[in-house]
Amino acid sequence: MAAFGARLRGGRVLHPRGRLLAGTLEVTGAGKLGVPVLDERGRYEVIARLSKGGSLPGRLPDVLGLAMRLPGPLDLLLSTCGRAPWLLWPRAGFAAGPYSSVVPYASETGPVWLVAVPEGENVPADPALLPAALGRGQLLFHLLAARKGGPSLPLATLRLRATLAEGADLSFDPVRHAHPSLRIEGVLARLRRDAYRGSREGRDATLDEVSEPVGK
């Protein structure tokens, strides 16, 4: 199904409208997840992407996405959520509310949701407005590890400072680019793996069709 959807759209099934951004991740060193890039104090240059999940036009509210590629590589994909991190929630702005992994990761200290809490100017939910917004200042997100019934643990601060060239693309894949100490298990893991594999196959098939020589 994901492969068919990707071929039909000629690209991504979910979050097709977005912009790549250059940013800096400052890790606090307070993490206890078993993942060095999130546990040890450091500063990394990263690539992130803000996007609209359903590709609704203009500034219409949507389930928004924040993806980031950390050294490793480790891809983290978060979506706007409600007060509970497992509840998807549409937002009208990229800094209007928190983002989360929606499903918990198994870590060395038990199940955790990864949550990003924005700070600063809200940008309407239109990727086309991101360059102008970043021209006025950075977008800031606080990355946390949230546990059910327990306090959240601060992991890092993500500062997004500039959009990359329009048309630039990067396929974030939390299945291929994962860490053994931070994983999603069970039925959800299988569904996620199948969805991303299907989306990859659909995008690859579309690229093959576009690159075929005329008259073949």
Q: What is the pLDDT of residue 14?
A: 66
Encoded amino acid at 139, one letter: L
Q: What is the pLDDT of residues 83-108, one digit of tens each?
A: 999 999 999 999 999 999 999 999 98
Q: What is the pLDDT of residue 155?
A: 97
Integer Cα distance of 125 and 139 in angstroms: 14
Whether this model's pTM surpasses 0.95: no
**Max intra-chain CA distance, the chain:** 63
Instruction: Answer whether CATH 2.40.180.10 is correct for domain 15-181.
Output: yes
Q: What is the pLDDT of residue 56?
A: 87
Q: What residue ranges do the domains of the chain occupy?
A: 15-181
pLDDT at 153 over 60: yes
Both structure tokens of 74: 């480790």
Q: Going by C-beta distance under 8 Å and a sequence separation of 6 or more, which residues neighbour residue 94? A: 50, 64, 118, 122, 123, 124, 125, 130, 139
pLDDT at 117 over 90: yes
Q: Hey, which residues does 162 pair with through a beta bridge?
A: 22
Q: What is the pLDDT of residues 125-149, one digit of tens each?
A: 999 999 999 999 999 999 999 998 8
pLDDT at 193 over 80: no
